[in-house]
Amino acid sequence: MIIIPVWFYGFDATMYFISALVGFLLSFYFHRLYSINSEKTHKYLYLGFLILSIGLMALSISDMFSYVEYLGCHEMYRPCILSILDNVFSIDDYAYLAYFGLSLVAYFLFIIAYSEKYINFSKMLLISFVAYLLAIITFMPMKEDAFLWYSYSGYFHLTAFIMLTYVSLKNIAYYTKTRRFNSFLVAFSFSMISLFHLLHIFASISGWVYVLGHIFLLIGFISLLSMVLHVKHIQERAEKKRGADKSKYIR
C-alpha cells in the first residue's frame, strides 16, 4: 500500500516530468559523444538515460491524467474511469509497469557501463539476477490490491535501489579519487535517486515518506542539471576569456 497525500497530487507528476527532461538532455549529450567517439560506455549511458526518461515521461503523463480524472469524478459524483483500453488494466497499470520495466533496463545499462570500466561480472551473478527478476514477475503479482502496479511496486523499488546503489558506490569511489565538483554532483545525484527508491519501499508508513522520496528524486535530477550548467558556465567563461584573441585565429 502506498500512501499519497491528496495535496501532493500533480506535484509528483511534475517532478517526473522535470526529471525526464533532464534525462533527455543527458541522453542527448551522451549520444553526441557516442557519435563522435563510438565508445560503448557512452552508448550505454545514452540509451540508459533515454529509456529512463521515456519511462518517467509516461509516468508523468499517466499520473496527470489519473489526477485530473480523479478530481473530476469526485467533484461530479461520477465513477472514476481510469481504464482507457480495456476494463482490466487502468492507465496507471500500463504506465507504471512500463516505467518499472524501462527503469530496470536503464539501470542495467548503467551497471554494464560501469562494470565494463571497473569490474567484470561473473556469468553466475548475471544469471542469478535475471532469475531473481523472473521470480518477481512470475510469483509476486496481484494479491488483494486494487491496482496491478501496486503489487509490483515494492519489488521494483527494492531491485532499483540495489542496482542504483552499485552505480552510486562506483561514482562515490570515483569522486574520492578525483575530488572534482562535477563528479561530486553526479555521485550525489545517483545517491539521491537511490534514496528515492528506498523510501518508496516504506511509503506505506506515511504520506510524508512518499513526499520526501520524490523530493530526493527531484534533487537528484536537479544535481545532474546543475552539473551540466556548471560545465557550460565554466566553458563560456573560458571562451569569453579567450574571446579577445579569437579574431587573430581567423583570417
Partner 1 sequence: MHSRRTKVQIYLDVLRAVKRAGGRLKITHIVHKANLTHDRVQQYLDYLISKGFLEEECDGEHTYFKITQKGLDFLGELNKLKEISDAFGFPIY
Q: Which stretch binds partner 1 (CB under 8 A): 119-127, 155-163, 194-202, 229-237?
A: 229-237
Whichever of 128 and 178 has its CB closer to partner 1, that residue is 178
Distance CA 114, CA 102 (A): 19
Residue with cell 530496470: 104
Note whether 164 binds partner 1 by CB under 8 A.
no
Note whether 46 binds partner 1 by CB under 8 A.
no
Q: Which stretch binds partner 1 (CB under 8 A): 52-60, 64-72, 85-93, 227-235?
A: 227-235
Kindly identify the residues of this chain, within the stretch 129-158, that bind partner 1 according to CB under 8 A: none
Note whether 222 binds partner 1 by CB under 8 A.
no
Distance CA 111, CA 45 (A): 10
Residue among 94, 68, 95 nearest 81 (CA)? 68
Distance CA 42, CA 143 (A): 41
Angle between helix 181-201 and 148-178 (nearest 10)? 150
Note whether 112 binds partner 1 by CB under 8 A.
no
Give, as one character, the DSSP assignment of residue 119.
-
Distance CA 64, CA 73 (A): 14
Q: Which stretch binds partner 1 (CB under 8 A): 14-22, 30-38, 58-66, 90-98?
A: 30-38
Residues near partner 1, by CB under 8 A: 26, 29-30, 32-33, 36-39, 41-42, 45, 113-114, 117, 170-171, 174, 178, 180, 182-183, 185-186, 227-228, 231-232, 234-235, 238-239, 246, 248-251
